[in-house]
Structure 1
């Protein structure tokens, strides 16, 4: 696999046509901070093709899936908790 092929998903995260993400937002250890940032980005975007909720949740899920097995357990737990925070932010039922 070439370096270019390995980096396509990082390019999507950095240059999404739907969302302008705050720098290093996925590095945060605070699920609420991640969710609030994604919500702001989704609501401010004028390029997205779906609802702000769908756009924010899709980006979060994409990031989790992209990291795959390289994502340590603590970080995965934080990002999964961010999904619940995002659901709360958009008044959607949380999953448990």
Structure 2
């Protein structure tokens, strides 16, 4: 029977030296960049959350925005959760994706629409 030798020292845990392949900076193909993918626009248009009315977030009144979102949420056959939750998540999604580019007046209107939505669904 062969004897198994015990190690008297531990393995080093230092870094391994690997060679990296150089990548060329030149692009293959025509050199044109692909058009940016506007996934957030696609979500608002084709999401399973709601069938939104066109231009709903551009409406002038917070009550109108809330009423439109409520109507869309209640009539949507594609949503996966409750109407209130779907409407609120779509509104929050729009606010978050607009980020700093959203004018303060519109942001305030959309924040008021959240409160109106809560009131419309009796969640107050």
Structure 1 stretches of 4+ with a deviation exceeding 6 A read none
Matching residue of 2:78: 47
Larger Rg: 2
Where does residue 36 of structure 2 map in the other structure?
Answer: 4
2:87 is matched with 56
Work out the CA distance in 2 between the residues paired with 1:55 and 1:77: 20
Q: Does residue 1:21 correspond to 2:52, yes or no?
A: yes
Cα distance, 1:2 vs. partner? 5.6
Aligned residues: 92
State the TM-score, normalizing by the size of structure 1. Answer: 0.90
Q: Give the structure with the higher percent helix.
A: 1
Q: Structure 2: give runs of 5+ residues left out of the alignment.
A: 1-32
Deviations 1:29-56 (A, max 9, x none): 2000000000000000122111000000
